[in-house]
A and B are shown apart, each in its own frame.
Chain A
């Protein structure tokens, strides 16, 4: 136990020190993790033990990441991406495979060449996606192309796992046969396997579409946060197990599950629950890659490994550039595409080991190749920085075209916290004006009903920072709080002011005192929730009493204006009252007295001003 805690402490400590430093040096978090790994690894301070086990465990971070990526991709969006996925992804994998395999075939037997070509065609989903997300490039068009290719590569791993054992030249190692303990799918005939695989995917679809909603609703109703987290984790882990069982990539399975759940109202909640686990696991995964760099081997084969790394990056880069050209990407995007994906991937560790145990690759070569891949992954974030420094900035200068393209999309986005009676009408109004608010509500039955009417409603406590983050508070223009609980609403305002100083705030206050408390926080747009209806009802009353409708209308407007004008003065009195001790009751009364006094001063003369010329009887 102590041993475990110690290891955990070293990993976390290294991350805590290295990542902020790397960020400060503008190197990105991935590079920070990798460097931390080298420092604490066997060739640095030698603080950690079984790296391979850690790496194996933390690979799960990649699975979680793909789940999260899936959550952001609605099925319709995925369908739209079918051309880049199959076209770009397919041609990248096939071409890279062909070129690398042919190059290897000059010195190695063809079976080994094929295995190496297949494996090195893959890029690092973990590093590339993390880098893209960190730099906010995920939703740009080259970002989408890069993602498409990575997705295809993850799909391609499945047939690769099937092909590699067929290439065996040496005897199969005993450890090769490590089928899952529950049942072994490889024992089934081919057609049965296909059926089992299809059934598993079908199961994910059915669970995601039909069963997930009632389950999540029931869990949410318990209002025990960690149970929701547990459900989310159980879901991801369960799917991974199922996928492993049927011989599919767990990353692919959870990605599919994510896509199925992308339309769910619990999407943001799931996202914010899984996100920290993913982040941590992935971070430790990167550290373990750094730590697994075998410096002794690298020193011994410095020339060979160095040459292979350069060769790998060059070949992949050329293929990528060619693919980008064929698919007519513009200059800037083409370079980003090329630089982002020119490295080996984490699947290579798995596939090389797999090839070795299946007797395809000899031990020594495997070690060398794993080092090559690890170094290329280490260089990936550096290459990206190189791209940004050299090419992106130069191209930007050369072509200052349409830099503001993406602002349009995020423009006018509103987060509506609280969707009760007030929030509902407010939301309807916004929607009628063509503004689709992202709605956060904590009442699961509410959420359910509203979604059925096509509102974009998400379940969750709006005062949770991670949920705000997931709802896009960073890019939103405005947040409106109509939370029924005044304390919660104050908390939300403070949270937003602290973390999103640029986000505009509008609030609903339950009464005058609540409004004062918002004024204390510096909120300017405050509406008292019953004030509007009181005045409108007052106008109705005057009309029913025989007032001229236009006059009744003007009285309402004038009253509202006067009330607004007295607010600062009443606020002053309220602030002074805070200093002197008075009972709540007295305070309320004093306020009311003051209010009534002010009302009596309201001068309705303005009402007639415009028309009291010299001829009042026209």
Chain B
């Protein structure tokens, strides 16, 4: 059983229905450590050794956050700036994260028609998240496409919310139990695009 670290960043969490649902769906899972960065470091004074320990003691790192300005909330950037140290995360002797799996679990207002060439946001989510992909590459991390909940702007029904939260839970369980076909997953636009297709049959 793999261990999963969810690094959660939301500066106004109490107003986010979707993130609350996602969080509720996975928080109690065995093997999952849910870590709320804004609650842990309201003044942004990140405890670097503690964060590095957390990373080292888990196999899969999930960055769960709303998609702000085609990127992450500020604290995640701060986290990366401070925690991903040279000769720890990268560099000739920096192998602390090598071989781990990482992906983003993001929620965005626009829908799939906004995120494409010619759409309102000009680029696809996959294109816009390339900095994370490049970071994973530098740190020798096995990168996976994001788990995405799009179109929140238009208002998701209660049903849809529950469905997405359930997908999130299934994704993490599959990863934890090593039942996800990583090679096929990498070719998807989103991890949750067709979950059944990338699950290994038992």
Which positions in A face B, CB cutoff 8 Å?
Answer: 548-554, 608, 610-611, 613-618
Contact B43 A553 (CB under 8 A): yes
Within 8 Å CB of A613, what residues of B?
A: 109
Closest chain B residue to A609 by CB distance? B12
* B66–A549 CB distance below 8 A: no
Which of A548, A553, A608, A618 has a CB less than 8 Å from the CB of B66?
Answer: A618
Q: How far is the CA of A549 from the CA of B12 in the complex (A)?
A: 11
Contacts of A617 in B (CB 8 A): 15-18, 152, 155-156
Report yes or no: A618 in contact with B67, Cβ–Cβ below 8 A: yes
Instruction: Provide the bound-state CA to CA distance between A608 and B16, in Å.
Output: 12
The residue of chain A having its C-beta at the shortest distance from the C-beta of B69 within the complex is A613
Q: How far, in whole Å, are A520 and B107 apart by their CA atoms in the complex?
A: 54
* Neighbouring B residues of A554 by C-beta, 8 Å: 42
Q: Beyond the given A549-B39, A551-B12, please list 16 additional residue pairs across the A-B interface where CB-CB is below 8 A.
A: A548-B14, A548-B39, A549-B40, A550-B39, A550-B42, A552-B42, A553-B43, A610-B11, A611-B15, A611-B68, A614-B109, A615-B152, A615-B153, A617-B155, A617-B156, A618-B109
Interface status of B19 (Cβ within 8 A of chain A): yes
Asked if B38 CB lies within 8 Å of chain A CBs, one says yes
Q: Which residues of A contact B76 (CB under 8 A)?
A: none
19 contacts between A and B (CB under 8 A): A548-B13, A548-B14, A549-B39, A552-B42, A553-B42, A610-B11, A611-B11, A611-B15, A611-B68, A614-B153, A615-B109, A616-B15, A617-B16, A617-B17, A617-B18, A617-B156, A618-B18, A618-B19, A618-B107
Chain A residues near B39 (CB-CB < 8 A): 548-550
Q: Is the CB of A551 within 8 A of B14?
A: yes
Say if the beta carbon of B55 comes within 8 Å of chain A. no
Q: Which residues of A contact B12 (CB under 8 A)?
A: 551, 608, 611
Nearest-Cβ distance from residue B179 to partner chain A, whole angstroms: 30
Chain A CB within 8 A of B108 CB: yes
Q: Look across to chain A and name the residue whose beta carbon is closest to the beta carbon of B154.
A: A615
Enumerate the 5 nearest inter-chain pairs by beta-carbon distance, A residue then B residue, closest first. Answer: A615-B109, A553-B42, A550-B38, A618-B66, A549-B39
Contacts of A616 in B (CB 8 A): 15
Tell me the nearest residue of chain A to B17, going by C-beta. A617
In the assembled complex, which residues on chain B have CB atoms less than 8 Å from the CB atom of A550?
11, 13, 38-39, 42
B21 to chain A, nearest CB (A): 10
A69 to chain B, nearest CB (A): 48
CB distance from B39 to the nearest CB of A (A): 4
Kindly list chain A residues whose C-beta atoms are within 8 Å of the C-beta of B14.
Answer: 548, 551
Q: Chain A residues near B109 (CB, 8 Å)?
A: 613-615, 618
Digit string of B145-188 for contact with A (CB within 8 Å is 1, else 0)? 00000001101100000000000000000000000000000000
B contacts, CB < 8 Å to A:
11-19, 38-40, 42-43, 66-68, 107-109, 152-153, 155-156
B16 to chain A, nearest CB (A): 6
Closest A residue to B42 by CB, please name it: A553
- A615 to chain B: which residues have CB within 8 Å? 108-109, 152-153
Docked Cα-Cα span, A548 to B36, in Å, equals 10
B79 CB, min distance to chain A CBs, angstroms: 14
Contact residues in B for A611 (Cβ distance below 8 Å): 11-12, 15, 68
Q: How far is the CA of A614 from the CA of B11 in the complex (A)?
A: 16
A residues within 8 A CB of B11? 550, 610-611
CB distance from B162 to the nearest CB of A (A): 15
Q: How far is the CA of A614 from the CA of B110 in the complex (A)?
A: 10
Q: Give Cα A553–Cα B45 distance, bound, in whole angstroms.
A: 13
A551–B14 Cα gap in the complex (Å)? Answer: 9
Q: A614-B153, A617-B152, A618-B67 are in contact. Are A549 and B17 (CB under 8 A)?
A: no
Q: Chain A residues near B16: list those with CB within 8 A.
A: 617-618
Are A549 and B38 in touch, CB under 8 angstroms?
yes
- Within 8 Å CB of A551, what residues of B? 12, 14
**How distant is the Cα of A548 from the Cα of B12 in the complex, in angstroms?**
9
- A612 shortest CB reach to chain B, Å: 8
Q: Measured between alpha carbons, how far is A81 from B85 in the docked complex, in Å?
A: 47
Q: Which of B11, B19, B40: most chain A CB closer than 10 A?
A: B11
A614 to B155, CA, bound (A): 11
A550 to B, closest residue via Cβ = B38
Bound-complex Cα distance A608 to B11 (A): 9
State the CA gap A615–B16 with chains docked (Å): 9
Shortest A76–chain B CB gap in Å is: 38
**A residues in contact with B40, CB < 8 Å:** 549
Q: Please report the C-alpha to C-alpha distance between residue A552 and residue B38 in the assembled complex, in whole angstroms.
A: 11
The residue in chain A whose Cβ has the minimal distance to the Cβ of B109 is: A615
CB of A549 within 8 A of CB of B42, answer yes
> Smallest CB-CB separation from B106: which chain A residue?
A618
A540 to chain B, nearest CB (A): 12
Choose among A551, A611, A614, A618 the residue with the greatest number of B CB atoms under 10 Å from its CB: A618
The closest CB in chain B to the CB of A553 belongs to: B42
CA distance A551 to B38 in the complex (A): 9
Structural contact, B108 and A618, CB atoms closer than 8 A: yes
> What is the distance, in angstroms, from B29's C-beta to the closest C-beta of chain A?
22
Q: Give the distance to chain A from B77, nearest Cβ to Cβ, in Å.
A: 15
Query: Once the chains are docked, how many angstroms separate the CA of A144 from the CA of B53?
Result: 55
The distance in angstroms between the C-alpha atoms of A125 and B176, with both chains bound, is 85
Task: Please give the distance in Å from A235's CB to the nearest CB on chain B.
Answer: 51
| Bound-state Cα–Cα, A537 to B52, Å | 30
A618 — nearest CB in chain B belongs to which residue? B66
Q: Min CB distance, A548 to chain B, in Å? A: 6
- Given the complex of chains A and B, what is the CA–CA distance between A73 and B202 in angstroms? 84
A41 to chain B, nearest CB (A): 72
How far apart are the CA atoms of A548 and B20 in the complex, in Å? 13
- Beta-carbon contact of A608 and B15 below 8 Å: yes
Per the bound structure, the CA–CA distance linking A613 and B153 in Å amounts to: 10
Chain B residue nearest in CB terms to A539: B42
Shortest beta-carbon distance from A535 to chain B in Å = 13
Q: Does B152 lie within 8 Å of A618, measured CB to CB?
A: yes
* Residue of B11, B38, B42, B66 with most partner-chain A CB within 10 A: B42
B20 to chain A, nearest CB (A): 9
Chain B residues whose CB sits within 8 angstroms of the CB of A610 once the complex forms: 11
Q: Which of A608, A611, A614 has the most CB of B within 10 A?
A: A611
Q: Which residue of A lies closest to B37 (CB)?
A: A550
B198 to chain A, nearest CB (A): 26
B165 to chain A, nearest CB (A): 14
Considering the chains assembled together, what is the distance between the CA atoms of A618 and B154 in angstroms?
11
Contacts of B13 in A (CB 8 A): 548, 550
Chain B nearest CB from A436 CB (Å) reads 25
Query: In the complex, what residues of A have CB within 8 A of residue B19's CB?
Result: 618
Q: Which residue of A lies closest to B20 (CB)?
A: A617
Minimum CB–CB distance from A467 to chain B (whole Å) comes to: 39
Neighbouring A residues of B43 by C-beta, 8 Å = 553
Q: How far is A554 from B41 in the complex, measured between Cα atoms in Å?
A: 12
* A429: min CB distance to chain B, Å: 15
- Max chain A Cβ within 10 angstroms of own Cβ: one of B66, B67, B156: B66
Which residues of chain A are near B38, meaning CB under 8 Å? 548-550
Q: Compute how far the CA of A618 lies from the CA of B67 in the bound complex, rounded to whole angstroms.
A: 8
Kindly provide the distance from the CB of B94 to the nearest chain A CB, expressed in whole angstroms.
30
Q: Which residue of B lies closest to A551 (CB)?
A: B14
Closest to A549 in B: B39
